[in-house]
Structure formats: structure tokens, C-alpha cells
Amino acid sequence: MSRQVTLLGARSDIALACAHEFAAAGDLVTLAARRAETLTADARDIELRHGGTVTLREFDALAPDHAEFVAGADLPDVVICAVGLLGDQTSDERDAAAASAVFRTNFEGPALALAAYANAMEARGSGVIVGISSVAGDRGRATNYIYGSAKAGFTAYLSGLRNRLAKTGVHVVTVKPGFVATQMTEHLDLPDKLTAQPAEIGRAVKTAVERRKDVIYVRGVWRLIMGIIRAIPERVFKKLSI
């Protein structure tokens, strides 16, 4: 039986990779994003490759209330939030407006959107919520603490939401990618062995949904890396630049 899967922030490479993965399994996909009409070619590509019909919906993650958006279509079986903004640490730490955009896009907007889905799914008694967070939220580091702190907030939010919904039939998955080769990171020099492709994220998300995983690291080596970083004593950590 096919599922209905909604992708929030669907212009991102990760969201589109997830869309292909679920569509290939016969699921019905909705791509939701700002300027949704720009996704027409992507929707057509998914339809041609995998069959089925892809729906486009206009979605603004920074809208003050998402209840009307959620009520405006059939409630999906799975909602995946891939909304995100990397920003630039050096400029963001001196530009309040830029920092606010990073905070709101990575934490406030996704959290409020998923809150609306959580309430609707809880009332129905079923559903899966997936939040794409980041290993950057595992510990604040000088090189990306604005982005990282927003992702840390989102990770904590997803954890609390999972705890709240544990007995309601609604499951919450936290996805923590490390480096991913996307348009958002194309200006960075990323190490090949630690950098995943979007398709790898898509496969990992689909597997996590089907196996009802709680928290996944993509790739697994990041669990070890971030465990080591978290274990560094603060007096030593302050002397590092990582």
C-alpha cells in the first residue's frame, strides 16, 4: 500500500533525493517549498523515473502559523522537514539579521511546522515525522556555532517531540548528516571520505522510517567523531579551532 509523503523545504538536494527514494517505492510524493512552481521540472523527472503523480504546494517555513497549511491537504503518512540555511559564521556573528535568518530557518520554522503536523497526526493516531538536523548541533564550535546552535535546538525539539508522541502511534526520526555534497556546501572543500551524497541521505531516511529508528547518523563514522568532540574537556576545547 502506497504512503503519502510530504517533503518540506523541497528545493533542497536532500529533500529531492528523499522524494526520489520514496517515489521509487511507489509512494505518493508532495513537494512543498517557496516558489513551488520552480520544482515543476523536478516533479516531472520524478514522475517519469518512478511513475505516479507528484504534487506541488507553496510552503513558507517562516510563516507564523502552519496549521492552515497542514489542514489544506490530506494529512500525509510521512512528513520530512529538510528546511535549512547554512549561513556564514564569520559574517553572521556580526550581522544580527543574518544570524536571525539562520536561527529561524534551521530551528524556529521547522519546529513550528512539525508542531502543526504533530498535532494533526496525534489526533489521527498515526504518522511519521522526520527532521533533518545535523551533527553540527552535537557541540558548539567556534567555526559554526550559529548554525550549530540552531541545529542543536532542533535536535532537542525532535527529542522532546518523540518523547511526547511515543504512545500515540506517531513516530519521530532525527537525522544527523555530517558533510553532504549539496548546492548549500558546494563552495566548501569537503573531505571525500566524510562527505555523503544526497542519494545516500535519501536511502538512510527511507530505511529509518521503515525501521522506525529514533536517531541516525549519516554516515556512521560521524557518531564516533562527534562522540570524541563532545568528550574533549572544556579547558582543552577552548584552545582548539575546529
Contact 175, 184 (CB under 8 A): no
The pLDDT of residue 74 is 97
Q: Is residue 120 part of a domain?
A: yes
The pLDDT of residue 194 is 81
Task: Give catalytic residues, as residue numbers.
Answer: 147
**CATH number, domain containing residue 188:** 3.40.50.720
Q: Is residue 18 part of a domain?
A: yes
- CA-based angle 23:24:29, to the nearest 5? 0
Tens of pLDDT along the chain (242 residues) come to 899 999 999 999 999 999 999 999 999 999 999 999 999 999 999 999 999 899 999 999 999 999 999 999 999 999 999 999 999 999 999 999 999 999 999 999 999 999 999 999 999 999 999 999 999 999 999 999 999 999 999 999 999 999 999 999 999 999 999 888 777 676 766 777 788 899 999 999 999 999 999 999 998 899 999 999 999 999 999 999 88
Expressed in angstroms, the distance from the first to the final Cα of the chain is: 47
Number of domains, the chain: 1
Q: How many residues does the chain have?
A: 242
The pLDDT of residue 123 is 98
Q: Is residue 174 part of a domain?
A: yes
Would the pTM of this model clear 0.85, i.e. be above it?
yes
**Cell numbers found for residue 150:** 540552531
The pLDDT of residue 103 is 98
Boundaries of domain holding 121: 4-237
Continuous H helices in the chain: 13-24, 40-50, 67-71, 89-92, 96-103, 109-124, 145-165, 198-211, 221-231, 234-237
Q: Which amino acid, one-letter code, is at 3?
A: R
Q: Is residue 242 part of a domain?
A: no
Contact 154, 137 (CB under 8 A): yes
Q: Is residue 147 part of a domain?
A: yes
The pLDDT of residue 163 is 98
